[in-house]
Structure 1
Amino acid sequence: MKAIIPSSTVVARARAPLRLGLGGGGTDVSPYCDQYGGEVLNVTIDKYAYATVCAAEHGTVRLTAADSGRVWQGVAEPVLQRQQGLDLHVGVYNRVVRDFMGGQPLAVDVITHSEAPPGSGLGSSSTMVVALLQAFCEYLSLPLGEYDIASLAHDIERVDLGMAGGKQDQYAATFGGMNFMEFYADRVIVNPLRMKAELKAELESSVVLFYTGVSRESAAIIAEQTDHIRRRDSAPLEAMHRVKAEARAMKEAVLTGNLEAFAQSMRTGWEEKKKLARSISNAAIDEVYDAAMAAGALAGKVSGAGGGGFMMFVAELSRRPEVMRCLQRFNGQVFTCNFTERGAHSWRKN
């Protein structure tokens, strides 16, 4: 697949949606998914990661993370060295140059920003990699499909950069919508769920997001989970099986329009997930969770690996204002959101 270098006036932009992990999170992480198969239910929301790629001054590369203020500029080379706060930019650039430019360096200006901080639990890092790849595909006219981009994004993040994590985030950001995903050692299957319009409206109207203000490092949590699976520790392994079973039950609840069953599966899945690693929950998270449930939430959980970031709750629409008022008493931020159907996409600004 040969890249096409555009004119110097072309500006390629892309955006990819962040996601809520509804059920099955952790079963998409190796070695569990390789040995037992992982199953995850997630949905993308109207918060995005953005990337822009355009021509830079002759022979230079400029990388900018606009939300953090990180900027690096240097000579365009076939392989860039990792730069603090710009690892994702470097990883995508290096792989694009290697796989699609035949090692010929690219003089490009790459600018990104995200509507969620790293460590949010909304898949922000993986979503940024997808947005970067989508922007490069637009810039270089690379005809990559959804599975191609998601698989490449996973390899860049997990293999090239050595970042711990699973597989669901890259596929959620690329495909968009509500999906039931299956993960195996040799393949990933994305099953889009067709929700009835009234159920989609009901679910959207029930969701409350609470940002704890704590950006967590998921690597330690994932390392503990992985260690349990490798050692075949019976209690965490059985808990992981039950987390997967609840994702399947949650999918059936969505397909049948049963919000009560959906909430029950989320409650059970969260209780089982907490058994996978000690730092998935903590006293602060438990306090917020208990208060929201007492205020009328039907279910809640931490989105992502755990330990901080965003928590999500579902509540009857009539009780949602009370739940939101309760959460506002804590040191964090309260949000609502809408679900999105469209995944990563790109366009040109000439």
Structure 2
Amino acid sequence: MSAIQPEARPVSAWRYSNVRSRAPLRLGLGGGGTDLAPYCDDYGGVVLNATIDRYAYAHLSARDDEMILFKADDLGRDEMLPCNLDFNICDGLLLHRAVYRHMMLHHNGGRAVPLTITTTIDVPAGSGLGASSALTVALIEAFVVAMQLPLGPYDIAQLAFEIERVQLGLMGGKQDQYAAAFGGFNFIEFLKGGVGVIVNPLRLRTSYLNEFESSLVICFSGQSRESADIIKQQVGGLKQLDDSTIHAMHAIKAHATEMKSFLLAGRVRSTADVLRQSWLSKKETASSVSNSNVERLLEVAMQAGAWAGKVSGAGGGGFIMLLTDPEKRFGLIRTLNEAGGEASAVKLTFEGVEAWAVPE
């Protein structure tokens, strides 16, 4: 028996017809890769991540013609389509197309409505900060507010995962969608057998949190990377029961748990020691996780006083995150920029995806 679809509602009857949203990007401190199937299904995975003051943005507005306009302003791309659902979601601006089509099919009775959907992201594509998943979450939340849908953060994260990984077939794990939907400093558990996800917010003392944030530096390596190739290699090792890949994943999972304990105790220096070990384990999961430029910038950073560093995300480029003595942070940033990186301080954020009606 087919599911009963809600009655179609014209866009003029929606609660809001001009909505903006934003979802935070994240730094992956530990456990990254253990949220990949089949590892998390077979063994259970854990990830420690924190959202930062970099965002993916979406803007949804009604049109008075019979067209749909998808725009990615940061990419300089746009697509004007007839107002129907007869388009391929695997062409063009995939995330825009897939989210719009899903919302029309499942929450608007299968009726297409004329909209302009515009997006931007604060960082380049392939940053390693979970930008594509944050964008998917932002797009979904814009529809949730515009249509007053009863979807909470777990629902939104799971839907984003299904759109990206199932409908579009994009390679990747599960952590990015949950980080963007919930926001904050989280220890996320991916239960064995794929039976569920638990997001555990870390309740750090303010002084511990301030010390960690003051120790943190991010540096864009100048190289965007295609995470799918790295993830494909990691998943291949897991499916083939490659001992070295599975052993490295076990170590990465243990490191995430250890980092959580040190952070809760305010031991930032010990957290950095585990971060360094985690980076060594991560490089064992796929040969393309690191490259000469990443290694060069990490070496520059260590010589300038960094305690430890690792690439955020799948690897291969994008952003490097580093921990250092706060009194050496300014000099570290300056040295990395002189060496060709794009380094800066960064602030942690504690709000997940947000959407609001544009004031009249």
Q: TM class, shorter-chain normalised?
A: over 0.9
> Counterpart in 1 of 2:12?
7
User: Does 1:208 find its partner at 2:217?
Assistant: yes
Question: What RMSD, in angstroms, separates the aligned Cα atoms of the two structures?
Answer: 1.5
Deviates more, 1:81-90 or 1:108-117: 81-90
- d(CA) in 2 for partners of 1:102, 1:253: 50
User: Does 1:117 find its partner at 2:118?
Assistant: no
Flag structure 1 segments of 5+ consecutive residues without an equivalent.
none
Deviates more, 1:8-17 or 1:94-103: 8-17
> Counterpart in 1 of 2:31?
24
Out of 31, 46, 52, which is 1:45 matched to?
A: 52
* Structure 2 counterpart SS, 1:106: coil
> Equivalences for 1:288-303 in 2 at 5 Å?
288-303=297-312
Q: CA deviation at 1:182?
A: 0.6
Q: CA deviation at 1:6?
A: 4.9
Deviates more, 1:211-220 or 1:52-61: 52-61
- d(CA) in 1 for partners of 2:341, 2:113: 42
Deviates more, 1:9-18 or 1:250-259: 9-18
Q: Is contact 2:188–2:199 with CA below 8 Å preserved after alignment?
A: yes
Q: CA deviation at 1:85?
A: 4.9
Q: CA deviation at 1:83?
A: 6.9
Paired residue type of 2:71: T
Q: CA deviation at 1:79?
A: 4.2
Q: Is contact 2:297–2:341 with CA below 8 Å preserved after alignment?
A: no
Q: Is contact 2:61–2:115 with CA below 8 Å preserved after alignment?
A: yes
Q: CA deviation at 1:58?
A: 2.9
* Structure 1 counterpart SS, 2:26: strand
CA offsets 1:303-340 (integer angstroms, 9 cap, x no match): 00000000010111111122112211222311211000
- d(CA) in 1 for partners of 2:229, 2:321: 22
User: Does 1:243 find its partner at 2:248?
Assistant: no
> Counterpart in 1 of 2:136?
129
- d(CA) in 2 for partners of 1:330, 1:43: 27
Q: Is contact 1:205–1:317 with CA below 8 Å preserved after alignment?
A: yes
Q: Is contact 2:90–2:168 with CA below 8 Å preserved after alignment?
A: no
- d(CA) in 2 for partners of 1:166, 1:83: 19
Flag structure 2 segments of 5+ consecutive residues without an equivalent.
none
- d(CA) in 1 for partners of 2:54, 2:213: 14
> Equivalences for 1:73-92 in 2 at 5 Å?
73-82=80-89, 85-92=92-99
- Count of paired positions: 350
**Taking structure 1 as reference, are residues 248 and 195 closer, same or farther at Cα in structure 2, changes over 3 Å only?**
same
User: How many percent identity over aligned positions?
Assistant: 45
- d(CA) in 2 for partners of 1:204, 1:85: 38
CA offsets 1:65-96 (integer angstroms, 9 cap, x no match): 01111111111112432475511100111111
> Equivalences for 1:92-111 in 2 at 5 Å?
92-111=99-118
* Structure 2 counterpart SS, 1:7: helix
> Counterpart in 2 of 1:328?
337
> Counterpart in 2 of 1:34?
41
Paired residue type of 1:29: L
Misfit runs of 4+, over 2 Å: 1-10, 78-85, 329-332
User: Does 1:155 find its partner at 2:175?
Assistant: no
- d(CA) in 1 for partners of 2:260, 2:304: 26
Paired residue type of 2:156: I
